[in-house]
């Protein structure tokens, strides 16, 4: 990815089981359409990674954070944003 692409990109981070399933934890993804939301990004990443399950849409159990603040899946993204996808948290 060149410098001009990086300036029009978002940093995507996956946590816990999502990271293990995808085989990666962080990557820069260029924003190619406007507006782009976390839900759009999820589908694009699923298709890029060849995951038919993820292509069906962002599961409601997955939490989204933009720039370290929880957000909805339809929040518009801007270049330079950090988008995190977090699986459901369980524990006792």
Sorted by where each begins, the domain ranges of the chain are 3-20+34-86
- Kindly report the average pLDDT of the chain as a whole number: 85
pLDDT given at position 53: 56
* 15: nearest Cα among 2, 5, 24, 6: 24
Q: Phi/psi of residue 66, each to 5°?
A: -120, 120
Q: What is the pLDDT of residue 91?
A: 59
pLDDT, mean of residues 62-75: 97
Q: Using 50, 70 and 90 to split pLDDT, how confident is the model at 21?
A: confident
Residue 57's pLDDT band (boundaries 50, 70, 90)? confident
Beta sheet of 9-14, edge-to-edge order: 26-30, 9-14, 82-86, 63-66, 69-71
Domain 3-20+34-86 architecture:
Roll (3.10)
């Amino acid at each position: 990815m060149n410098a001009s692409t990086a300036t029009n990109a978002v940093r995507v981070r996956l946590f816990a089981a999502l990271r293990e399933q995808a085989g990666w934890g962080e990557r820069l993804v260029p924003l190619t359409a406007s507006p782009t939301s976390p839900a759009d990004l999820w589908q694009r990443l699923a298709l890029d990674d060849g995951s038919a399950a993820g292509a069906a849409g962002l599961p409601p159990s997955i939490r989204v954070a933009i720039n370290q603040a929880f957000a909805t899946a339809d929040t518009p993204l801007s270049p330079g944003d950090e988008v995190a996808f977090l699986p459901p948290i369980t524990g006792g």
